[in-house]
Every structure is written in C-alpha cells, then in structure tokens.
Chain A
Amino acid sequence: MNLTFGVMIAILGGVIAAVMGGVGSAISVGTVGQAAAGVVSEDPSKFGKVLILQILPGTQGLYGFLVAFLLLVQIGVMNGEVLTLSLAQGFMYFAACLPMAVGGLISAIYQGKAAVAGVGIVAKKPEESGKAIIFAAMVETYAVLALLISILSIFSITSIISA
C-alpha cells in the first residue's frame, strides 16, 4: 500500500465531491418534499406529478457519489493497488473533484427552489406540470456540466500520471 499524502489529498477531493453533492441534494429534496406534502395533503391525486419534481434535485448527490467512486477506482483504492501519488498529483485529483463538489451543491439548492416553485404550478395548474418539470430540469444542465468536467479531469490526470 502506498498511502502517501498525495493519495490522502486525492481521496479528500472525492469525499468533498460526494459530501457537497449529497448535502445539496438532501437540502433540496427535503424542501421540495415539504412543498409536495403540502399539495398532496390538499389533493392526493397530484402525488405522481410532485414526486417527479422532488426527485430532480436528488441527482447531484448521485453525481457526487459517481465522481468519488471513479476517483477511488482510478487511484486504485478499490482494488487495493493504490498509486503512488505526489502531493502535486494529489492536488490535481482534488481540483478535478471541485467542479462537482461546488457545482453540485449550488445547482442542487437552486434546482430545489425551482422545483418548489414548480410544485406551486402543479398545485394551481396541474395541466402545466410538464413546464414546471422543464424549469427545474434546466438547472440540471450545470450539474451535468460539472460532472463531465470532473470525470474528464480525473481520466486525463490518470492518463498523465500513467504516461
């Protein structure tokens, strides 16, 4: 096992990506859940429509987990063959995780707000629920972009280190 300080920094990056994405999603799914419960308590037939809106901001937590998992695979933590990473290499992995960590947290919170507003649309005009979902889904773009840049960075860094 080559548990260098660089490896520790890299793992810390993965942890931050998973935690911040998860925290953002937990806050937002909880908030949308409150709004959804309010609507369902008045009209239980709207459960299906508000459930979709509640699920939407949960993806950032999943993306954070994915980034952390890929990082652990790439540095060999998952198969027990941990790479020997210098401090600079560790920080490169750490930096690669930051887009998902920060982008995930912020996009989850704002997607939650858009989804709560969407719940209001479903409450008043259930026939417009598609539009409510689109408004909330638009925020997802930035979470996906953050996920892509984090994944591409992790793979690129691994290629650089292996070369």
Chain B
Amino acid sequence: MNNQQYTYAVARIRANETKLLTKADYDSLINASGKQAVASILIDKGWDIDLKNISSSLENEAEKVWDLFTRSVPDINLIDALIIPNDFYNLKAAIKATFSDLDPSKYYISPCTVNPSLLTEAVSHNNFKELPDFIKVTAEKAYDNYAETSGGQDSEIIIDKASLETALCFAEKSKSELLKAIMSLKCVQANIKTALRCIFCGKSKAFTMDAFCICPGIDNERLYESAKDKESLSLYLSETPYSYLKDAVKGGFTQFENFCDDYIIGLTDSSKWLIDGPDPVISYYYIKMNEIKNARVIFSAKENGLTPENIREKVRGVYV
C-alpha cells in the first residue's frame, strides 16, 4: 500500500479530530443534568442527535465516519476489516429474524460492506450464491445449523468465530500493523472470554475448542487448559505475544474488557503524529466508535438516573 496515497485522507481526519470529544467535554457530558443537556453538548460538537431516536442518531454518526472514509481513502476495501464484524452481526440478525418471522431490517446495523437487503434476500430464500465469498460459506453453515437445531447458540458461535477470523484475515491483507494488532487482540480477547465462560458453565472441551477462533500466537489447546485457573492463564499469556494481558485476566470480566478497550485506544496513540498511511484512518475510526459507545453509555445512564461517579467508571479512554 502506498502510504502517500493517504495524505489527503489523513489531512481530512486531522481536521475532523478538532471535533473529537475532549476530557472537558466528557466531564460536561457526565455532569450534565439529563439527556437533553447531553444532546445539546453533542450537537455543539457537530453531532446530529435526535432525542426521539438516540440509537439511530448514534448509528448515523458511525455512518458519517465511514462516509468520510469512502470519500477520502484511496482504497476503502483495504480497511474493510473495520466494519466486517457488522456484516456478520447483520447475518446473525437476518437468520434469527427470518426464523422468528420478524422483519430483519429493524435489527441491521451500519456501516457494512454487504447490502442488508441482499442478506435478507439470501436468508429468506436459503440461497447464498449472491453473497460475497467471505460470508457465503458461514451464512450457509449458520443457516443450516439454525434450521437443524432450532436454536441460535451454535449458529451464533459459527458466525462470531467467522466474524473474528474474517476481520483478522482482512486486517492482514491491509498490511497495517495497527489493524493487525487490534484484530489479533480482539481474537485473543474473544478466545479468553469463551474459555472462561465455557469452563464456568461446564461446557465440554470439544465444544469450547470448536468455539475458539484461530488466533496468531495462541495455542488454543493450552489456552483452554490454562483457563481452568486464572493464575495458570496469566502464566500462559505471559509466554505469548499478549503478555500485556497477564494481569488483566486475573480480575473480573468487566475489568478485562475495559482493559482491552483501553489498550486499543492506547495503540491508536502511536498514530497521532503520522502524516500518511492507513493507521491514522484506523485510529480515527476506533476513537469515533469509542466516542459513540461512550455517548450511548451516558445517554443510557442519564435515563436510568446514574450518578456522575457511576457514569465515569463506565466511560472509556479519551484520545484528545
């Protein structure tokens, strides 16, 4: 990938970074009197917030980011890894909704690379020929599994696993070390969570191993064995390229997830001063998604009357 081709995109992103939420903005949002006040602050920062439909407004913000990328990045396909998980989420929604006689379009999220109507069409007719190669086999497998078992668990596992592996595969194609590092972390994070949950719920080893995705630098067999005890898991991770997770796994699930989210935001710091290449674009995407996630948390917290202290604990890393 020619880094110089990203000069225009990176400059546009730098200009947009002035609209990112700062620590002071987050303080104002957290201490805001209610949803209306939160919406006002976000509108001042250039967000389009409709209080009647906050979820949709926040989704539009994510679409705006992708729209910016499509208009400025030289080859958008190279950073598709960022939104590939949305396609698999939509596939899950399509299968579940179709089998439940519901309208799947209500559950689709965007931005995505596969047209949701194509997914609806494919799932409703049990004909996946028109779907792109990266999702076709998974869609068939997940659909058949759902039809055979009349339950969503195995089907979901198939889709989640394929989502992570496909995103990692796309990240590797992108030649961006940052994207590869993020996707690898997401894979190992998912495997650790799967191992801990399966062991806690008494699932068989075969079931757990089947649910693991392929993760570079991780021996899934050893991961499963070590996950029976958090100290062993920590010891095993210290021998892998993910040794930075060794302390985080000793705590609770939420603490572990927070650590991973913060670690990803930390990885994006290295792109702050780059003048070209895909990394500033990728960083901006994660930072914006983090902002949207934080905005969703704050809106929800205000609706449920949480105190500023409680909200502060839930709000994740700030870039600016």
Interface residues of A (CB under 8 A from B): 31, 34-39, 41-43, 46, 113, 116-117, 119-120, 123-124
Find A43's partner among B4, B15, B275 (CB 8 Å cutoff): B15
Find A124's partner among B4, B7, B9, B18 (CB 8 Å cutoff): B18
Give the number of residue pairs across the A-B interface with Cβ within 8 Å: 57
**Residue of A whose beta carbon sits closest to that of B7:** A34
- Hey, what's the 0/1 contact readout for B1-19 against A, CB within 8 Å counting as 1? 0001001111111111110
Taken together as a complex, chains A and B put the C-alpha atoms of A119 and B10 apart, in Å, by: 10
- If over half of A's interface residues share one DSSP class (helix, strand or loop), that class is named, otherwise mixed; here it is helix
- Hey, what's the 0/1 contact readout for B237-275 against A, CB within 8 Å counting as 1? 000000000000000000000000000000000000101
Contacts of A36 in B (CB 8 A): 11
| 8 A Cβ contacts from B123-165 to A | none
Q: How many residues of B contact A (CB 8 A)?
A: 17
Contacts of B12 in A (CB 8 A): 38-39, 41-42
Is A39 in contact with B275, judged by CB distance below 8 angstroms?
A: no
B208 beta carbon closer than 8 Å to chain A: no
Taken together as a complex, chains A and B put the C-alpha atoms of A55 and B244 apart, in Å, by: 46
Contacts of B72 in A (CB 8 A): 38
8 new A-B contacts, CB < 8 A, other than A37-B8, A42-B12, A123-B15, are A34-B7, A34-B8, A37-B11, A38-B8, A41-B12, A42-B16, A43-B15, A116-B275
Distance in Å: Cβ of B104 to nearest Cβ of chain A: 36
B63 beta carbon closer than 8 Å to chain A: no
Which are the 3 A-B pairs with shortest beta-carbon distances?
Answer: A38-B11, A42-B15, A123-B14
B80 beta carbon closer than 8 Å to chain A: no
Contacts of B10 in A (CB 8 A): 35, 38, 120
| 8 A Cβ contacts from B227-244 to A | none
